[in-house]
Amino acid sequence: MKILLIEDNPTIAQQIVEFLSGHNWHVDYAHNGQLGIQLAVSDIFDVVLLDLNLPDMDGLQVCEAIKQNAKVTPPVLMVTARDRFEDKSAGFHQGADDYLTKPFDLRELALRCQALARRDNLHQHKKIEVGELSIDLTARSASRAGETLALTHVGFELLVILAQHFPQPVSRSLILHKLWADAPPDSDALKSHIYSLRQELDKSFAYPMLKTVMNLGYQLVVDK
């Protein structure tokens, strides 16, 4: 999983980062609200851990900004010393998906992260439509203009990543992380899979949908 931690206490932040990293999860860290928002809207996270008592702005404002502006809205787990019912109510009304009060057991934090990520996956759309392209996540099949695409396992996963981010480009680093987590193959492997996907997705059609974005990565485009 990819986690974003927004926490101004460096001791608590270090404990959380070290513990969750021990699960082989990738953890990005922001020490204030503005940086947290910037990271949340520029990348894709499975879960956001958000402290409410931040030095530059209230965590409730941060939660609202993330929910409104993130490219793919992540579940937010508020982790805070505010333990009154009124605080919890305000958090949930502002968009929080879960609420954990300090002090807490790091093992429970990890379990809640897993539960939120799993719940979020269950609520995703089972079909993705991008122009002529149709992807059925349940059947693990894809077609363009009604013609079924013969995709490998990696090719299908790669196409889903690009479709989920449409119309935005996707960086090579994010694709590598999504496909192979912390054990990516050499860079030529991704190029090979991109080539195979492009052959299947574009070769028989009027215009190419898979575009290379120089010095960044790849994106899907539709003919206008």
53: tokens are: 């008592």
**Which domain does 144 fall in, by range?**
127-220
Q: What is the tally of structural domains in the chain?
A: 2
CB 61 within 8 A of CB 78: no
CATH number at residue 141: 1.10.10.10
The type of residue at 10 is P
| pLDDT number for residue 224 | 61
Q: How far apart are CA 83 and CA 85, in angstroms?
A: 7
166: tokens are: 């449409």
Is the pTM higher than 0.85? The answer reads no
Last residue of a domain, one of 77, 93, 122: 122
CATH number at residue 7: 3.40.50.2300
Looking at the structure, tell me whether residues 17 and 79 fall in a common domain: yes
Looking at the structure, tell me whether residues 182 and 195 fall in a common domain: yes
Q: How far is CA 174 from the centre of its chain?
A: 9
Strand partners for 148: 143
Looking at the structure, tell me whether residues 164 and 87 fall in a common domain: no
Looking at the structure, tell me whether residues 98 and 47 fall in a common domain: yes
Last residue of a domain, one of 122, 146, 179: 122
Looking at the structure, tell me whether residues 24 and 74 fall in a common domain: yes
| pLDDT number for residue 91 | 87
pLDDT in tens, the chain (224 residues): 899 999 999 999 999 999 999 998 999 999 999 999 999 988 888 899 999 999 999 999 999 999 888 877 889 999 988 888 888 888 888 888 899 998 899 999 999 998 888 776 554 557 888 999 999 987 889 999 999 999 999 999 999 999 988 888 888 888 887 888 767 677 688 899 999 999 999 998 999 999 999 988 999 999 86
CB 39 within 8 A of CB 28: yes
Looking at the structure, tell me whether residues 11 and 107 fall in a common domain: yes
